[in-house]
Structure 1
Amino acid sequence: MTQQSDSAAPIPSRTPLTEATAPTPSPFPRLAAPRPLAERRVWPRTFHDRLTAPLPGLRAVARFAREGAIRPGREGLADIPRLPFAPAPLPRVDARTVAVSWAGHASWVVRIGGLTVLTDPVWSRRILGTPARVTPVGIPWDALPRVDAVVISHNHYDHLDAPTLRRLPRDTPVFVPAGLRPWFRRRRFTRVTELDWWEAAELSGVRIDFVPAHHWSKRTLLDTCRSLWGGWVLTTPDGRRVYFAGDTGYGHWFRRIGERYPGIDLALLPIGAYEPRWWLSDVHCDPEEAVRAAGDLGARRMAPMHWGTFVLSAEPVLEPLTRVRAAWERAGRDRADLWDLPVGGSRVLEREPAVREPQG
């Protein structure tokens, strides 16, 4: 992958908070102050300068048309009945509990700091241009607690699903990449906060940081890279952290994120939709790269996602799971720290007494 230097994107000032700007003590003194919720902002017309690799040109498109390997063959699809699916009630939590539940693909129910946060919620059976999901949604919509916030990584249809979002009250706080607010405003959402890379907001004591990813955005023929893309770091007041990568290829941003947000307790990392590599390596991690990314991040635990739900690419449907388990073992990581959940599964992050201070 062609990598950009860290100067490729503007980084907000890291000037420490002062009494004039922060009348009350902040648990995040070395990071930029959170931006106001639902702030109106003006963005560049395009974010092409944030790409870490060129988008496919005509030659690549022609090769893709010739080879046509966009779905696994019959043998690769034969394991669909064996895909792990084990729906169960959501765990009981309190304000000091961190728990994650996998609804499928990149959709998680994250219970953190007393909040229920949905990541890239897709409860639809189908998304545009893709066969129906091969495993059902692991968490029924009516089994969800009140949704306190939604975070969106980017605007691709398998991450930004209008039918699912229509189920939410329009005053639900939504956190989105720069340039995506108009899409939500057209659908009458009233509390939409757009963030640039390395910026943050805060909701009920939980800090919500938007961080870079190796990806791109497009939803129509005319909006390529008109909005940003990235991942999210959720941090509790006592310093526990969950990182949601969204959709991303492997590259230098993982190391930078780990340096800026040390002590990530759990990384939700994509492991699927990676074949053919010549076409997808710049924008989708394969399982070995995801394990390497967890190491770059300094993450204590990893939960794989973005596999076993929609058939988006050519690898056999069970291959991501077998490869990520093997890569985790080769890396010498504790098996208990690989949270390879079935769709519908949950895990609770045990409390740790140490408070880790973020770095600027």
Structure 2
Amino acid sequence: MRRAGHRSGPRTRRRLARLIAGALALLAGCAARPDPDPAPDPARPHHTAQGFRNTTAVGAIDTPLSRLLRWRWEALRDGLPPPPRAATPVVAPDLDGLRANAGGLEQPAVTWIGHATTLVQADGLDVLTDPVFSDRASPVPFAGPRRAQPPGVALAELPPVDVVLISHNHYDHLDRASVVALDGRSKGRTLFLVPLGLRDWMQAQGIRHVVELDWWETHRVGAVTFQLVPVQHWSARSLGDRNRTLWGGWVARGPDLHWYFSGDSGYSSYFGETRARGGPVDLALLAIGAYEPRWFMQAQHMDPAEAVQAHHDLGAGRSIAIHWGTFALTDEPLDQPPRDLARARHAAGLADDAFATLRIGETRRLPARGARQSAP
């Protein structure tokens, strides 16, 4: 019996050939191999002779090509992902408001630009997370996941960016064209904070103002202390560099706002450890998308229910959902994550605004820590 969504014949074979070619392109890329690996530190259990690993039970996430091809074949066979019921909500950005609030001088604020790209304005800094402004999240312009809509704020319309946070080197989080454009726009003044092993790659692109950190290390910019914290994930930009550069989330702590950015992460004990070491955060930017099928994605991407648990583990005052609605990366439709988040939020007894979704381009203003502490 033919399964729903099954297609046969030459057209299917051509699509499968393109699918395999695209998958290989995403794995192999056209990027040069990085410079030699950072020297392993035996005192740090996440360091290995070849690079890095998770210290959770999953260890190093290593996905054989056979599992990748099984996933992609099953998705093609079953017609996945299905089209979304509705387009990802979009709103025109408040550009005047963003410029007036540069550095969060009026009030801390976060703007969702799309996928994992956000602009956080707080404590005298404009901080951009995992900037991807290109049309595809791919090493090549002719294949790979394509944007469902333009960025919520065009790169040229951003206020001056003081700091860029990079979580890891996957193409939907580290886009060469975007980081080069941001560096050129600021004439080298923007600071790029990256995990271990990525400074050489950044400098090979002509970007010099780079600081790389290991897990739990910090770097201070003005009144804000940035810390790279562990998350359960992996790294690669080619077939030969898997886990040779580090990955991580970020915590930023300033007088007005303590906030967390997950980048990509499977659910793990790292969230609770981050809170235990540094205290709760006022705001968490948590990935909720790219989670199906669970047999393939669970170790590397949270589903919305796990993201709600991460919200609790971090002690977040509020969370905002990211990493959904922009690139069709996995088997769920683009609009499924917020529906699953609503169910998980209800099951956990959370108010809607405790873990919210934004429209692409939307800005959410936040109370400053001092204002919260002085409130009656």
Same structural fold, with TM-score higher than 0.5 when normalized by the shorter chain: yes
Q: What is the RMSD computed on CA atoms of the aligned residues?
A: 2.6
- Contact conserved, 1:272 with 1:286, CA < 8 A, in 2? yes
- Contact conserved, 1:109 with 1:119, CA < 8 A, in 2? yes
Q: Which moved more, 1:225-234 or 1:258-267?
A: 258-267
Residue 88 of structure 1 is matched in structure 2 by 93
- Contact conserved, 1:72 with 1:315, CA < 8 A, in 2? no
Residue 64 of structure 1 is matched in structure 2 by 71
Give identity over the alignment, percent.
40
- Contact conserved, 1:130 with 1:311, CA < 8 A, in 2? no
- Contact conserved, 1:172 with 1:189, CA < 8 A, in 2? no
Q: Which structure 2 segments of 5+ residues have no match?
A: 1-41
Determine the C-alpha separation between the residues in 1 that align with 2:283 and 2:317. 6
Q: Secondary structure at the match of 2:44?
A: coil
Determine the C-alpha separation between the residues in 2 that align with 1:177 and 1:312. 23
Residue 118 of structure 1 is matched in structure 2 by 128
Equivalent position to 1:10, from 36, 39, 44: 44
- Contact conserved, 1:52 with 1:215, CA < 8 A, in 2? no
- Contact conserved, 1:70 with 1:313, CA < 8 A, in 2? no
The one-letter amino acid paired with 2:211 is T
Residue 28 of structure 1 is matched in structure 2 by none
Residue 166 of structure 1 is matched in structure 2 by 180
- Contact conserved, 1:96 with 1:113, CA < 8 A, in 2? no
Q: Report the TM-score when normalising by structure 1.
A: 0.81
- Contact conserved, 1:171 with 1:190, CA < 8 A, in 2? no
Q: Secondary structure at the match of 1:168?
A: helix
1:214 aligns with 2:232: yes
Equivalent runs, 1:339-350 vs 2, <5 Å? 339-350=356-367
Determine the C-alpha separation between the residues in 1 that align with 2:191 and 2:48. 20
Equivalent position to 2:62, from 38, 52, 55: 55
- Contact conserved, 2:224 with 2:252, CA < 8 A, in 1? yes
Residue 14 of structure 1 is matched in structure 2 by none
Q: Secondary structure at the match of 1:175?
A: strand
In structure 2, relative to structure 1, the CA distance for the partners of 1:63 and 1:78 (3 Å cut) is closer
Equivalent runs, 1:192-207 vs 2, <5 Å? 192-207=210-225
Determine the C-alpha separation between the residues in 2 that align with 1:117 and 1:9. 32
**How far 1:139 moved relative to its partner?**
0.7
Equivalent runs, 1:1-360 vs 2, <5 Å? 10=44, 45-48=50-53, 50=55, 52-53=57-58, 54-57=61-64, 60-61=67-68, 63-64=70-71, 66-68=73-75, 73=80, 76-79=82-85, 81-90=86-95, 91=97, 92-93=100-101, 94-95=104-105, 97-128=107-138, 129-169=143-183, 170-237=188-255, 240-353=257-370
Determine the C-alpha separation between the residues in 1 that align with 2:285 and 2:54. 26
Determine the C-alpha separation between the residues in 2 that align with 1:158 and 1:279. 18
Q: Secondary structure at the match of 2:51?
A: coil
Q: Which moved more, 1:344-353 or 1:271-280?
A: 344-353
Determine the C-alpha separation between the residues in 2 that align with 1:156 and 1:130. 12
The one-letter amino acid paired with 2:321 is P
Determine the C-alpha separation between the residues in 2 that align with 1:336 and 1:50. 33
**How far 1:262 moved relative to its partner?**
1.5
Q: Secondary structure at the match of 1:353?
A: helix
Q: How many residues align?
A: 317
Q: Report the TM-score when normalising by structure 2.
A: 0.78
Determine the C-alpha separation between the residues in 2 that align with 1:241 and 1:344. 22
Determine the C-alpha separation between the residues in 1 that align with 2:114 and 2:79. 20
- The structure, 1 or 2, with the larger RCO (C-alpha pairs under 8 Å, 6+ apart) is 1
Alpha-carbon displacement from aligned partner over 1:211-239 (angstroms, at most 9, x marks no partner): 0011000001111101000100011135x
Q: Which moved more, 1:85-94 or 1:342-351?
A: 85-94
Q: Secondary structure at the match of 1:183?
A: helix
**How far 1:336 moved relative to its partner?**
2.2
